[in-house]
Structure 1
Amino acid sequence: MTTALDCVCRDCAAAIPGEVTRCPKCGSRRLFRHAELHRLSIGHIDCDSFYATVEKRDRPELASRPVIVGGDDHRGVVAACCYVARISGVRSAMTIREALDRCPDATIIRPDIAKYRQVGHQARAIMEAFTPLVEPISIDEAYLDLAGVEERLSISPAQALVEIVRRFERELRITASIGLSHNKLLAKIASDLDKPRGFSALGRAEAAAFLAPRRVTILWGVGPALERKLFADGITRVGDLQDKDEHWLVKRYGAMGRVLFNYARGEDRRRVSPESVSKSISSEETFDWDVTTLPALAQELRPLAEKVSRRMEREGLLGRSVVLKLKTRDFQQLTRSRRIEPTRSAEAILAAGMALLEREADGRAFRLIGIGCTDLTDPETAPDPELDLFG
C-alpha cells in the first residue's frame, strides 16, 4: 500500500491535495511532496551563496558572471562565491590566486560585512514574523520552530517556510534553501540536499535508512579530528555507527559517543533556542607580505583586539579565554589560547594575545594573524573575581 503524499507549491505556498502536476492556484510545476510534509515543524533556512548573492543584487551587470567575495589581491582568501564560480571549482577558504587560476574571468569584490549584516537582520525579521522561535546560526542561516504556526496563521510549517523564502526573494532579492524535519539535525542535513532555491524534508520513518550510507561527516559535531578517530576504528559511514551499541560508543568516545549513537538514528533533542549566544568572537588579517618580527606582528594585533572588544561590547558579552591564530608561509595554522578573568577590554585581550605571540615570534614568516575570545558569558552570570579569590 502506498502512502499518500502531502504537497506544497514552492511558488505560491498553497497546500495541494491529490496527485496533480501543476499548482491549481498559480500553475507552477514546482511542487514538493513528502509523506510527512505537514506534520514536520523544525525548519532550517540557509541563504544561497549569501555574500555573492547580495553583491549581484546590488550590481545587476554581474548577474550572469562568476563572482568571488574575498581579498582583492592574490594573498587573500575566498570568503564566498556564486554558483557560476563554483562550476569552475572555486570554493570558500581557497586562496584568491588559486581561485583565479580556476576561474580567470571572475570578478573579485571585497567583503562588505556591514551590508551583509543589515540584510541578515532583515531576513531574521521576516522569519520572526512567522515564529518567535528563530535561532540564528550565522549571518545567513537559522533554525526555526514552527510548531505553533498552524494555530496562529492557519498554514502548516511547510507552507510557512515557503512563504518566508518567497518574502526573501520579493523584499530582499536573495534566495534560500529550506530543510524541514522533526529535529535540528535532520533539518540542517535536509537544507543541504537541494541547492540553490531548494526544498527538502526528512521524516521520522526514513531517517535511519537515509543516514546509513552517508559518510559520518554528515552528522553535526563530526569534524576532522573525530573523523580521523572514527576512520581508525573502521567507522566511515553512519551505518557503521548504527551497528555499534551505545555502551561501546560511550566507552570509546566519551560523552560524544552517546551523541553519535542518537544522531546515527536521526535522533536529536536539542531545542530551537532564540537566545543562543556566540561561541566565539574573533578578527583576523591576511598580510600583503610575510611578516617575521615581533614588533610588526604586534602592530597588526592591536587593531584586531580593538575590533573584537567593540563587537563584544555590542553583544554584551565577556570572554574568559583569548585565542591567538597564526598561519605560516606554507599555510600551517597555529592556535594558542590563554585563560583570563572575564573581560571585554581591548587592553586585556591584547595583553593575553601578546603573551602568546611572544612565544611564537621566533623569526618564522607569517602570512596571517588573528585574535579572539572564547568561552563567552553574560556579565550578569560571570563569576565575581573576589568570590573566586576568597572562596
Structure 2
Amino acid sequence: MVHKHVDMPEKDKAEKPFETARALCRDCGARSAAGTVRCKACGSPRLVSHPELDSLTIAHIDCDAFYASIEKRDNPELQDQPVIIGGGQRGVVSTACYIARIYGVRSAMPMFKALEACPDAVVIKPNMEKYAAVGRDIRERMQALTPLVEPLSIDEAFLDLTGTERLHHATPAETLAKLIREIENDIGITASVGLAANKFLAKVASDLEKPRGFSVIGQSEAKRFLADQPVSLIWGVGRVFQKKLFADGIKTIGQLQTMEPSDLAARYGSMGLRLAQLCQGEDERLVKPERGAKSVSSETTFNQDISDFDALRPVLWQLCEKVSARLKKAGIAGRTINLKLKTADFKTITRARQSSDPTQLANRIYQAGVDLLAKETDGRRFRLIGIGVSDLSAADTADPTDLIDEQAERRKQAELAMDNLKTKFGKSAVELGLVLDPKKKH
C-alpha cells in the first residue's frame, strides 16, 4: 500500500482509518496503534503508516519551493501572495511558490508567460548566496545522520540510512521525521520525504504529496503501484523519448512490465534495459556520497537581445570575475573554458577551449572566452551569455609562472593584488580600469 498522508475531515478519517500498525506522528514523533486517526500524544492528524515503514532505509528529501519558501520566510508579508523567483522579463522562472503554481506557473517557464498566467505575482530576483547558505545548513544536518548523502541539487538529496538505528536509537523513518521537523522549526522552510527500498522509488514517493509530504512506497507494492503510472514517471523519459514510446503504443509503465527486457533493449538500446528494470520497481544504484563539482560557471539573460561584440565583452568580463571568485574560494582551478550563448530564437551555442594549465584567474578565463565570442558575433542577436570552466583540479597546480610572457605574470600579480584589496575594503574598492581594460585582448 502506497501511503500518502492527506489531511481529511474528521468524519472521513473515522470512515477510513489507517489499516496498519505503528503509525508515526510527523509532528511529535510518537508512535500509535493501528487505526489511529490522531496522535495520542499531541493530537496531530499528520500520521504516516505503512507495513514496511520500519524496514525501509532509502530516502529522497526535496525542499518545497525552496527559493520562494526562503523569501517568504524572510518577508512574512509574502506568505499569502503568489511569489515567483526569476530573472526579469527576459529570464525564466527559477521557482514558483505553490500559490503561483495554482495559476499554472512552473519552473523553467519564460517569465513573460508566467506573468501572463499570474499577473499579480511578486517577482523576486534570485539571491543565490542566501539560498546556498540555507542549502549548506540542510546538507550538514543530513550528513550528521548518515555519511551516505548524495545531493542532486542545492535543495534535494538521497540518503541511505541503513544501519543507523543503533546510532540514533530510532528507525530511519523516525530519524527522517525528526530531521524534517528540525528543518521546519530551525530553518523556517518545509521539505517532503519519499521513503522506499531504492532511489527510483524514493524519488517517486517524494513527489506524491508535496508540500510537507512523507510518502512511502514499499517493495511489495511497487510493481502494482507503478503499473497505472505514465511512462514519463521514469527517469530519462523526457518529452522526445515519451513521443517515441507513444508512437509504439506504450503509454503506461504497466505496458512496459509485460515486455521482455531483450525486446526493450532491441527497440531502445541501453535506455530499454533501464526501462526494463525501473518499470518493475527495481533499481540497483547505490546512494553515493557527495562528489566534487564538475564545472563552475555563471551566466546572465539580457532584458534586450544583444548582437554587438563591444557590448557583450564587459558583460563577459563580469561573469569571468564571478567564476574566478568562486574558483578561488573553493580552492580549485579548471583547464577548459566553456562559452555559452543563446540566440534570440532560443538556440543554444556552446564553445570550448583548453588551456595549457589549470587556471583560477579571471583574466585568463576572459582571454579564452573573448576569443571564442569573437568568432560567434556575426550579426546574430543573443539573449543569454555564460562562461565557465571544467576539467577541475586542485589550485596548487594553477597558473604557474610564465617565464616567456612577462605581461601574463604582471596581470596575474595585479589580479591577486586586486583580490586582496577587495577582501579588505569590499568588492567595489578597486575598479578594473585601473589595471586591466577588459575591452582589450591581452
TM-score category of the 2 structures, normalised to the smaller one:
0.7 to 0.9
> 1:347–1:239: structure 2 CA closer, same or farther, 3 Å change rule?
farther
The one-character-per-residue Cα deviations of 1:313-334 (angstroms, maximum 9, x if unpaired) are 4445554654433222233333
* Contact map agreement 2:19 2:35 (CA 8 A) in 1: no
Q: Spell out, residue by residue over 1:339-376, the C-alpha distance to the aligned partner (whole angstroms, 9 max, x if none).
A: 66673444554455445434432211111112334565
**In the alignment, residue 158 of structure 2 is paired with which amino acid?**
Y
SS in 2 for 1:285: strand
Match for residue 114 of structure 2? 99
* Distance verdict in 2 for CA 1:214–1:349, change over 3 Å: farther
TM-score by length of 2: 0.78
CA distance in 2: counterparts of 1:253 and 1:298, whole angstroms: 44
Instruction: Say whether residues 1:325 and 2:373 are aligned partners.
Output: no
Which range moves more in the overlay, 13-22 or 322-331? 322-331
Cα displacement (A) at 1:261:
1.9
> Which stretch of the first structure deviates more once superposed, 148-157 or 372-381?
372-381
Distance 1:90 1:8 in 2: 34
For residues 223 and 33 of structure 1, what CA distance do their matches in structure 2 show?
33
Distance 1:6 1:265, change over 3 A: farther
Answer yes or no: is 1:126 the counterpart of 2:120.
Answer: no
Match for residue 154 of structure 2 among 123, 133, 139:
139
- SS of 2:300's partner is strand
Residues 252 and 307 from structure 1, CA distance in 2 versus in 1: closer, same or farther, beyond 3 angstroms? farther
2:184 matched to which residue of 1?
169
Equivalent position to 2:386, from 352, 370, 390: 370
Asked if 1:204 is matched to 2:216, the reply is no
Q: 1:23 aligns with which of 39, 42, 50?
A: 39
Whole-Å separation in 2 of the counterparts to 1:55 and 1:158: 29
Match of 1:385 in 2: none
The AA in structure 1 aligned to 2:73 is R
Deviation at 1:9, TM superposition (A): 0.9
What letter matches 1:49 in structure 2? A
Q: Whole-Å Cα distance in 1 between the matches of residues 375 and 259 of structure 2? A: 44
State the AA in 1 paired with 2:312. L
Q: Structure 2: which amino acid aligns with 1:88?
A: Y
Q: Secondary structure at the residue paired with 1:357?
A: helix
User: Is residue 70 of structure 2 the alignment partner of residue 54 of structure 1?
Assistant: yes
Deviation track 1:98-139 (CA, whole Å, cap 9, x = no partner) reads 222222222122211111111111112222232222222211
Q: Distance in 1 between matches of 2:32 and 2:375?
A: 65
CA distance in structure 2 between the partners assigned to 1:343 and 1:321 by the alignment: 8
1:304 maps onto 2:319 in alignment: yes
Report the 3-state secondary structure (helix = DSSP H, G, I; strand = E; otherwise coil) of the residue aligned with 2:32.
coil
CA RMSD between the two structures: 2.7
Report if aligned partners of 2:231, 2:253 keep a CA contact under 8 Å in 1.
yes
337-346 or 132-141: which moved more? 337-346
Alpha carbons of 1:366 and 1:45: their partners in 2 closer, same or farther (altered >3 Å)? same
Q: Which amino acid aligns with 1:126?
A: R
Distance (whole Å) between structure 1 residues aligned to residue 351 and residue 189 of structure 2: 38
The one-letter code matched in structure 2 to 1:7 is A
Q: Can you list the C-alpha shifts for 1:221-253, whole angstroms capped at 9, x where unaligned?
A: 333444344444443332333233223333444
Tell me the CA shift for residue 203 of structure 1.
1.1
The equivalent position to 2:164 in structure 1, one of 131, 139, 149, is 149
Q: Give the secondary-structure state (helix, strand or coil) at the position aligned to 2:178.
A: helix
CA deviation after TM superposition for structure 1 residue 173, in Å: 0.8
Relative to structure 1, is the Cα distance of residues 324 and 207 closer, same or farther in structure 2, using a 3 angstrom cutoff? farther
Alignment check: 8 A CA contact 1:313 1:344 kept = no
| TM-score normalized with structure 1 length | 0.87
8 Å CA contact retained: 1:79, 1:92: yes
CA distance in 2, matches of 1:226, 1:353: 34
Larger radius of gyration: 2
> Would you say the 8 A contact 2:21–2:32 is kept in 1?
no
User: Does the Cα contact within 8 Å between 1:47 and 1:177 map onto a contact in 2?
Assistant: yes
In 2, the alpha carbon distance for the partners of 1:32 and 1:76 equals 40
Residues 327 and 366, structure 1, Cα contact 8 Å, conserved in 2: yes
Amino acid at match of 1:37: L
Q: 1:238 to 1:291 in 2, by over 3 A?
A: same
Task: Tell whether the 8 Å contact from 1:126 to 1:167 is kept in structure 2 after alignment.
Answer: no
Conserved? CA contact 1:117–1:139, under 8 Å = yes
Alpha carbons of 1:67 and 1:317: their partners in 2 closer, same or farther (altered >3 Å)?
A: same
2:373 equivalent in structure 1: 357
> Is the 2:335–2:359 Cα contact (8 Å) retained in structure 1?
no
Q: Take 2:295 and 2:250, find their aligned partners in 1: how far apart are those partners? A: 31
Identity %, equivalent residues: 51
Aligned to 2:292: 277
Question: Residues of 1 paired with 2:313 and 2:327: CA distance?
Answer: 21
Q: Which residue in the other structure is 2:306 paired with?
A: 291
Give deviations 1:164-210, integer Å, cap 9, x for gaps.
01001110111011110111111111111101001111111111222
Q: Equivalent residue for 1:38?
A: 54
Cα distance in 2 for residues equivalent to 1:227 and 1:283:
31
Change (3 A) 1:264 1:167: same
CA distance, structure 1, for counterparts of residue 111 and residue 171 of structure 2: 44
Kindly indicate whether the alpha-carbon contact (under 8 Å) linking 1:41 and 1:180 is maintained by their aligned counterparts in 2: yes
**Paired residues, number:** 380
Provide the C-alpha distance between the structure 2 equivalents of 1:361 and 1:161, rounded to a whole number of angstroms.
Answer: 52
